[in-house]
Amino acid sequence: MFICVEFGHKQKRLFNIDCQTSCLLDAINDSCYQDIGTFLHKQTEVFTKELNVWKKKETNLLKKLKTDEDKPEETPTAKGNKNAKRGGMKQEEEEQKKKEEAEKTAKGKKTPKSPPEEEEVKQMNEEEKEKEAITKSLEEVKTTIQKLEQKLALISDSITQMGEEANTEKVLDLQDVNGDRKYAKTKIGQYATEFLSEKMVYSLGKVVKNEQDEEEFRRVKVDGACVRTLEEDANYDPEEEAADNKKGKGKKKTIGR
């Protein structure tokens, strides 16, 4: 005779209810919190590996950007010699050409660039575009690294919180799909089969006092923000999730369905 208990972040576990309620609650406390801790540590490993990959990408992009910035700029003299070599011109021909270009400019005519100059401009434009592309990629990589670091910080907080909860005295309870509590603490001496239905799904929660000093059922769960992947975050819609939860409320929920 089994029931399914939901807890943590979309986690489930089967429990035998053919026992006293006190034994069932002890088993639920030990197993569920242990499962949560295992899950959080696995996600920590996953995000740490992913973070290391992105940090390597960042290092490579920074090296590439530095290499481009460290390229020596050609001096006017070097450019002149380079142009002369490319065009096979003599010094006298260059001076004559400069005079002709100056006269054309004075007359308001636009001086056309020589083939070597056009090639240099084209090369400079390509280098500038490449630098912009690297810079853009670097910004995207840094953003991703920041998101992963935030997730790891959240997971660390959740591990600490859940570890403290597991070892703290508390009142656990179960809630069915209709939102009805089972008040298990008042039935410690009974067999769980007396108030729980076989093959049904229940949510695990702890009973706390609210500001009005009234008992309140709070689900034992993990914030999805710390365990969702970046791809899942991009498609995450809190309103849609709330609508799905509301849609399932009130419907009979059994194991395997």
Give the per-residue pLDDT at 113: 53
Q: Which structural domain, as residue segments, surrounds residue 216?
A: 2-71+115-248
Does the pTM surpass 0.75? The reply is no
* Phi, psi of 209, rounded to the nearest 5 degrees: -95, 130
Residue 67 belongs to some domain of the structure: yes
Give the per-residue pLDDT at 68: 67
Residue 104 belongs to some domain of the structure: no
Give the per-residue pLDDT at 245: 59
User: Following CA atoms 154, 157, 161, 167 in sequence, which dihedral angle do they give, to the nearest 10 degrees?
Assistant: 130
The total domain count for the chain is: 1
Residue 225 belongs to some domain of the structure: yes
Contact predicate 156/149, CB 8 Å: no
The per-residue pLDDT for range 145-201, each reduced to its tens digit, is 999 999 999 999 999 999 999 999 999 999 999 999 999 999 999 999 999 999 999
Q: Would the pLDDT of 44 be above 70?
A: yes
Residue 234 belongs to some domain of the structure: yes
Question: Residues near 20 by Cβ (< 8 Å), separated by ≥ 6?
Answer: 188, 189, 190, 191, 192
Give the whole-angstrom CA distance, residue 82 versus residue 89: 10
The per-residue pLDDT for range 227-246, each reduced to its tens digit, is 999 999 999 888 877 665 55
